[in-house]
Structure 1
């Protein structure tokens, strides 16, 4: 009831200064468009009035990857990852130790440790990037925001290869997250070699499903099979 009265008083205050002109027809003005005319598009834009842009959002939805993987990375960009530190803070577990490396706390709601700083994760990245001659892109600080790192590193790749790099990023991040979850829920652990192989296999499945950049990656990985096998043994 209080809210209704407040709304009434607000409308009354706004209308106090309004003077009606006799015999002049009313004119409806839609304030969300430049010409005052209503349109569906202007209504849609009005829903986002006052919102802020999410870094990397537009580029993410253009990436060739399954919807569930893009949604996972969307949550990462939104800082919604349930890291070990966050789970411990909410009383869901006793330790904040990284499940992949068992060496340091899994910090960073933006995936800094899980995707970039973890020793295990860096080995997986090395195993997948070196056959593509992109291992230099792995240089990153542990406290980096994975979204900032992605946008910065993709600028170092030529424009023709960026769709391929974008798909690769989501594939590896997705594979690392799945392996982390397996360890959190006490399922069988995989080695760096196993995770790399699983990523390659999933990339092939993506390619068969029609994600064109992955077909290029699968071909490159296949051509460099011996190199991948050697590098994925680094533990």
Structure 2
């Protein structure tokens, strides 16, 4: 009964406006519902949409390949939390990796999901370089993730320092 009274008091504090409600469907660009978008969103995340063969054939340790498989699907919880808090990877890192590999690695573009960037990076590579590119992406992602989560856990995420 006490919980009901507390709920009632909170509901009484809610201020409603006279403006009409506006319903926006977040699964389309224009905000309008369509059955096509409803069917499409029904299956998002239920199956893997990227070609995993390059990932599993990469010359990297199993734990790193497994990490990359989760990362490409946006299933790395800590990385997601860091992004939600506005702590993103400095693009300078990927510029240096691209320079170090002689342009073998493509830079991640703003707003591009990891899965799409993974696919674009591997499509740009020749057949003989795909496993090398995949390994570089995997190890770079692994090391960045480890460094960022470690510095976040130590409370250093707001401090500038050199690696």
Please classify the TM superposition score into its range, dividing by the shorter chain length.
0.5 to 0.7
Contact 1:54 1:77 in 2 (8 A): no
**1:179 aligns to what?**
147
1:76 aligns with 2:45: no
The runs of 4+ residues in structure 1 deviating greater than 3 Å are 51-54, 83-88, 187-192
**Alpha-carbon distance in 2 for matches of 1:71, 1:80:** 11
Using the size of structure 2 for normalisation, the TM-score is 0.58
1:134 aligns with 2:103: yes
1:129-163 superposed Cα distances (whole Å, 9 cap, x missing partner): 2032217721x432211121111122212222221
Size of the aligned set, in residue pairs, is 116
**1:165 aligns to what?**
133
Q: Which ranges in structure 1 are unaligned for 5 or more consecutive residues?
A: 1-50, 89-94, 99-113, 195-235
State the structure with more CA Rg: 1
Compute the displacement of 1:168 (Å): 0.4
Q: Which ranges in structure 2 are unaligned for 5 or more consecutive residues?
A: 1-45
Compute the displacement of 1:79 (Å): 2.3
1:96 aligns with 2:123: no
1:146 aligns with 2:114: yes
**Alpha-carbon distance in 2 for matches of 1:97, 1:158:** 35
SS, match of residue 155 in structure 1: helix
**Alpha-carbon distance in 2 for matches of 1:126, 1:135:** 11
Using the size of structure 1 for normalisation, the TM-score is 0.42
User: Over the residues paired in the alignment, what is the CA RMSD in angstroms?
Assistant: 3.0
In structure 2, do the counterparts of structure 1 residues 52 and 85 end up closer, same or farther at CA, with 3 Å as the change threshold? closer
In structure 2, do the counterparts of structure 1 residues 172 and 87 end up closer, same or farther at CA, with 3 Å as the change threshold? closer
**Alpha-carbon distance in 2 for matches of 1:184, 1:147:** 24
Q: 1:156 aligns with which of 120, 124, 131?
A: 124
- Greater RCO, 1 or 2 (C-alpha within 8 Å, sep 6+): 2
SS, match of residue 141 in structure 1: coil
